[in-house]
Chain A
Amino acid sequence: MRAIAGLTLREMLRRRATLTLAIAVLAFIALSGWAFHALVHSYGPAGEARLYASEQLVFVMLVFSGMLALTASFLSASAISPELESGVAISLLARPLTRSGYVLGKWLGLAALVACFSLLSGALELLVAFWSAGFVPPDPLAALAALGAQALVLMTLGLWLSTRLSSITAAILSVALFFLAWMAGVGGALGVALHNSTLQVAGAVSQLAVPTNGLWQAAEYYLEPPSVVAILHLKGIVGADPFVAASPEPTAFYIWCALWVAGVAGAAVWSLRRRDF
């Protein structure tokens, strides 16, 4: 399993796709730094600019989390099926390596990469926001952890899909599910605003089916200044605005996320176990 994790990590690091995605993320960070800088200079008093910057930061981080999710999906979606097709897997699995060892080795290698990449680039983005606009989110570490967890969730989904589908199909499907989950989150918030219970239930169910948006909401909560959250509570519009998180996610949600990752990784193992070569 360790050998597979090592091989996976090495392979991912030398892929052109990894490099491209990393460059894209870095370019995005640089661009956002420039935007923050421009923002601070066009607004007068420092306090006002900072509040505005915090809202902009949430939006920037939303796009940023989307890029991380895309990266995680693309990397993991091509982790298994190409090896099944090319015949790399057949020679590995003829060794004293169980199918679960193979899948979990892949998962570990990818998880190491995705977690490091999310945390490092996320930290860089927050630093850029600090340098250019002087904004410090209330809990940057928790926000980074939530972003990393979101990437891990998507990575696990992509890995499962790649046991059955070609790289392209698996990547498109997991990115599509990511966007659907996000839209379901928006739909659920609309449901709250419009007092439409069907929309609320649909939103809540799809939030659990693919918990990426819930993790984004968690990250959002830790990025917003407490004043924004306080205003929401004062107005009594908790949960009605998809672009503001009024409360932290309950612990049960994080437990669900862990179970979800374990379950989907288990599904990947099961899918490969059933396969004949």
Chain B
Amino acid sequence: MPGTIGAARRAEPAILTEQLSKEYGGKAALSDLTMTVPRGQVFGFLGPNGAGKTTAVKLLLGLARPTAGEGLVLGEPLGDVAVRRRVGYLPELFRYQDWLTAEEVLLAHGALAARPSAARRGEAQAVLEVVGLAGRARDRVGTFSKGMQQRLGLAVALLGAPELVVLDEPTSALDPTGRHDVREIIHDLKSRGVTVFLNSHLLGEVEQVCDHVAILRAGRVVAQGSLDVLLSSTGVRIEADGVTSGTLQGLERFGEIFLRGTELQVDGIRRQDIPALVAELVARGAQVYAVESRRPSLEEHFLGLMGGR
């Protein structure tokens, strides 16, 4: 019953790892990565340079072998060869044979990905269109700028209708237009139900496109979850009269409290707790003039996590 198998396939996560670790020469590049990336999600994998993002991706694609731990990609164990037919990958550092034309690179990748030979040329043209290189199909890769090579890399990653697309720093060489295009491409993949695993150190980029993120620091995940939950720990600024340190007794449970004259600031409070805090203040005789909640950007959150370095 292929229908059942298909449904089971869609139900299982795109990526699942269990304590995945990698050492290079005794030095840990990635430690105990445990994560689940559901199908159809745009998953942001964040971290400063050297955090281990690229290492994690190489383990997922079987380009490096884990020192410990295990994982599944589209239901197959790490290192499985056949599953790569369903995975598109844009490496962080790569080159294509610079004596081939853009189209020839895509035809070669189509052959390697075992695409039907009659469909290869059409598919190559289609992905070149998507990344904005349709006019350069017959030009040699050696004549491409770094940004154009990255666009071509993106085209290669999109080739062959993959179920999972892994992008390692896809915009590192792109101009603002290029970055915008990448966001559009990711949105489009998401609307087609394709899972996207996005490695990046560019927080703004991740914040704009990702549903879930994992934040990596020195090889370890320090925060993981949906962007909403991760950023739900907010701060609130309250302008009120009649607040003394006595009034604030016992309110530390909401968060870290700072009082400056008539301005009260509570950091780390969950958004849903703000009404309760205000009610409590009013009950204790404070006159509240203004309540302003603010959601920190991913960047602030990230810097907070990296702060204790």
Chain A contacts to B: CB under 8 angstroms: 2-4, 7, 11, 14, 86-88, 90-98, 276-277
Residues of B at the A interface (CB closer than 8 Å) are: 24, 58, 61, 63-65, 81-85, 87, 89, 91, 93-97, 99, 108-109, 111-114, 153, 156
B150 CB to nearest chain A CB (Å): 12
Q: Nearest chain-B residue to A2 (Cβ)? A: B111
7 pairs of A and B residues whose beta carbons are closest in the complex: A276-B64, A95-B112, A87-B94, A3-B111, A277-B63, A94-B89, A86-B95
Complex A-B: 28 CB contacts under 8 Å: A2-B111, A4-B112, A11-B99, A87-B94, A87-B95, A88-B97, A90-B63, A91-B89, A91-B91, A91-B94, A91-B156, A92-B112, A94-B61, A94-B63, A94-B84, A94-B87, A94-B89, A94-B91, A95-B109, A96-B81, A96-B82, A96-B113, A97-B112, A276-B24, A276-B58, A276-B64, A276-B65, A277-B63
Shortest C-beta distance, B213 to chain A (Å), equals 23
| Residues from chain A with Cβ under 8 Å of B84 in the complex | 94-97
Q: Provide the residues of chain B in CB contact with A276, threshold 8 Å.
A: 24, 58, 63-65
How near does chain B come to A274, taking the closest CB pair, in angstroms?
9
| Contact partners of B112 in chain A: CB under 8 A | 3-4, 92, 95-97
Number of inter-chain CB pairs below 8 Å: 63
- Contact A98 B108, CB 8 Å, known A88-B96, A90-B91: no
* Contact B95–A277 (Cβ < 8 Å): no
B64 partner, pick from A4, A88, A91, A277, beta carbons under 8 A: A277
Alpha-carbon distance A175/B24, docked complex (angstroms): 33
B82 CB contacts on chain A under 8 angstroms? 96
Main secondary structure of the interface of A (DSSP, over half): helix
Q: Evaluate whether A91 and B63 lie within 8 angstroms (CB atoms) in the complex, with A3-B108, A96-B81, A96-B112 already known.
A: no
Q: Which residues of B contact A4 (CB under 8 A)?
A: 112
Complex formed: what's the CA distance from A14 to B153 in Å? 24
Which residues of A have CB within 8 Å of B89? 91, 94
Is there an interface contact between B109 and A87, defined as CB atoms closer than 8 Å?
no
State A24–B89 Cα separation when bound (angstroms).
43
- What is the chain A residue whose CB lies nearest that of B22? A276
Are B81 and A98 in touch, CB under 8 angstroms?
Answer: yes
A265 to chain B, nearest CB (A): 19
Complex interface: chain A residues within 8 A of B65 (CB)? 276
Closest to B29 in A: A276
Q: Complex Cα distance A94/B83, Å?
A: 10
Known contacts A94-B63, A277-B64: does B95 contact A88 (CB below 8 Å)?
Answer: yes
**For residue A95, which residue of chain B has the nearest CB?**
B112
Assess the B114–A96 pair: CB atoms within 8 A: yes
Q: Are B94 and A93 in contact (CB under 8 A)?
A: no
Nearest CB to that of B65 among chain A residues? A276
Nearest CB on B from A186, distance (A): 42
Complex: A86 Cα to B114 Cα, angstroms: 24
